[in-house]
Every structure is written in structure tokens, then in C-alpha cells.
Structure 1
Amino acid sequence: MSDYPRDPRQAQPGVDAARLWAGGVATAVVAALIAIVGLLIARGIFAVEVLAPKGDGVWGNASTTTYAVVAAIVALLATGLMHLLSVATPAPGQFFGWIMVLATAIAVVLPLSLTVNVSAKIATALINLVIGLAIAVIVSSMAANARTRYRRTTPEQAPTRQWDRPEPPSRYYDS
């Protein structure tokens, strides 16, 4: 049996939006946790001032929460970008990869251009690099799993695959 749909309108690949956005929310949680862990390592282990003065302690001030929330928002924006690219471009993975590499490069270079302590520049750049890479890799793989072979508008249009089953053997051989 052919693997092609009977209805030509179903031949266009689609995306399972529910799975994509569920993965996007999970990616946002991961990105926020990476931000928190990165700040805890920078402040607690290496005593580097990242986004808050050293006197605010290992946890820092509200900037830790802000940094984590911004990382989560960036992950959701990346999911939205991937969704848009998946339905509007011929090669969404390539465009998404380039956009994420360049956005991550900006997030890494920006703190390095500030006039603050060198250790704070490097720590912030490294945290941004890890967050950007994690978001890019997770959203890319998650979007690949959320792609559907056919765009479906109703459950009745869902393609089914018919398997050609051989006839069951007779109970006794004919002789």
C-alpha cells in the first residue's frame, strides 16, 4: 500500500502544536534552572559578581530571579520562532540553527563588551552560552519530534496505514 495520502491537502507536513509547546514549557523550566545553577556556581564556588554585588550573598538579589525568568522567556520565544519557521519555511531546522547561533553569540559577546570586572564578564558570558546552547539543542530536537508527516484538520482525515496480511495458514495442510 502506498505511503502517500489520498487527499492532496494532507500531503503538506505539519507540526503537532500541543507537543511543541509542551516541550517549549519544559525547555523554559530547564533554561531557568540552568540560569540559577550558573549563578549559584559563579557566586558560591568562584565568588564572582554576576548581575548583583558580592554583598548580596550566593543567591543574590532579585536579579537572580529576573535572570531565570528572562532565560525562560527566551526559551518560549525560541519555541514560538521554531513553530513559525516550521509552518512557514522550507528548512526550519537550518534557519532556527542559524538564528540561535547568532542570538547566542550576541548574548555571549554583549557582557564581554561591558566595563565591569573581567571575571564577571567571563562568568556571565559562559552562563549565557550554556543557556543558549541548551535552548537551541532542546528546541531543535523537540521540534523534530513534534513534526507530523501530514497536516490534519480533523481526526477523520488522519491517514491510516493498511497492512497487507497474509492469509492465515489452514489448520491442516491440503494434500
Structure 2
Amino acid sequence: MDPQDGYDWQPQQTGYVPPQHRPRAQVPRVDAGRLWAGGAMTALVAALTAVVGLLLIRGVLGIPVFAPEGDGAMGDASTGVLAMGAAFAALVATALLHLLMLATPQPGTFFVWIVTLATAVMVLLPFTTSAPLDARIGSAALYLVIGIAIGSLLSAAGRSATRQDF
């Protein structure tokens, strides 16, 4: 007799294991503070990636993307708009990842697919304009690098922010 449940049980004979003797399931838990700290740092990296990319494309390569050629390497207000847009995209992606971590099985897989497809849209978007080919390629390359930065950094932050409760 088991004193806890008041009856004799033999798991090897019946296959039944009372709930108190069953191993507890692993329950993933999201450390929201850690996730959003990673999201904030990803936003900073995305904004700086946009600025560095524009310096490279405009200043070094001389391709007039996001501003007329006469505006120089740092361009005009479009540089700030692109940097803020990249940071905003990283924060939106953080919110998406948080939602996926709370509500879906295999959130990392869904997140990678969504970020990859969103990045593909942004990479293809310049090719729907009438801008010069070199400006379209430069814009697409910059969007690709920003998308890769956001996707890879937030995927790592999501893994780091997941805890297993036993």
C-alpha cells in the first residue's frame, strides 16, 4: 500500500502511474525583461546598421540611395528616417516574437519564417521603382543586411529568454 494514495499500485503490472508519481512536464517560460532588453539592443544595432550601410553605399560607393547625390554621405533627413524605421522594425519584431513565444508551438520556427519573408519583401521592393539600377541594388542590399541583423539577433535573444520550469 502506498500511504499517499491509499491503494497498492504496480506500474510495471498495470501501466498506471498516479499523478503524484509522474514526472512533471517541462513548461517553457518567457523572461520578458531579458527578451525586451535584447529587443532594445537589436533596435540600436538595426539603426546603426542603417547608418553604417548608408555611409558605405553613399560615401564609399557613391550610389545615391535614399537621398539625392548632392546631399553627401550622410544624406538628408532620410538617413534618420531609415535608421528610425530599422529600429522600429526591430521593436515590432520583438513584440511579434514575444507573442509567438507565449502562444505558439515552435515559436522560433515561425519567427524565422516571418522575418525571412518580411525581409524578402523589403529586398524586392526597390526593384518595383524606377530608380537607377545601382540605387535599387544598394537599397535592396541595405534592407537585406538590416533584416539579417534583426532576425539573427532576436532569434538569439528569444532562445536566451526562454526558461524551462521543472
TM-score class, shorter: 0.7 to 0.9
Cα distance in 2, alignment partners of residues 138 and 34 from structure 1: 13
SS of aligned partner of 1:149: strand
Write the mapping of 1:139-150 to structure 2, written as runs, cut at 5 A. 139-150=154-165
> What are the Cα deviations for residues 92-131 of structure 1, in whole angstroms up to 9, with x where unaligned?
0110011011000000000111111101000000000000
Residue identity matched to 2:62? A
Structure 1 consecutive aligned stretches of length 4 or more whose deviation exceeds 4 Å? none
**What TM-score comes out, normalization by structure 1 length?**
0.80
> What are the Cα deviations for residues 43-77 of structure 1, in whole angstroms up to 9, with x where unaligned?
10111011100111111000000000000000011
Residue identity matched to 1:29? L
Cα distance in 2, alignment partners of residues 95 and 19 from structure 1: 20
How many aligned positions are there?
A: 145
Asked if residue 134 in structure 1 is aligned to residue 149 in structure 2, the reply is yes
Residue identity matched to 2:89? V
SS of aligned partner of 1:13: strand
Cα distance in 2, alignment partners of residues 100 and 77 from structure 1: 11
1:67 equivalent in structure 2: 82
SS of aligned partner of 2:66: coil
1:164 equivalent in structure 2: none
Unpaired segments ≥5 residues, structure 2:
1-20
2:98 equivalent in structure 1: 83
1:120 equivalent in structure 2: 135
Residue identity matched to 1:30? V
Asked if residue 20 in structure 1 is aligned to residue 45 in structure 2, the reply is no
1:172 equivalent in structure 2: none
2:116 equivalent in structure 1: 101
Cα distance in 1, alignment partners of residues 96 and 79 from structure 2: 26
Question: Could you tell me how far 1:12 is from its partner in structure 2?
Answer: 2.5
Unpaired segments ≥5 residues, structure 1:
151-158, 160-175
Identity of aligned residues (%): 49
Residue identity matched to 2:46? A
Cα distance in 2, alignment partners of residues 142 and 75 from structure 1: 12
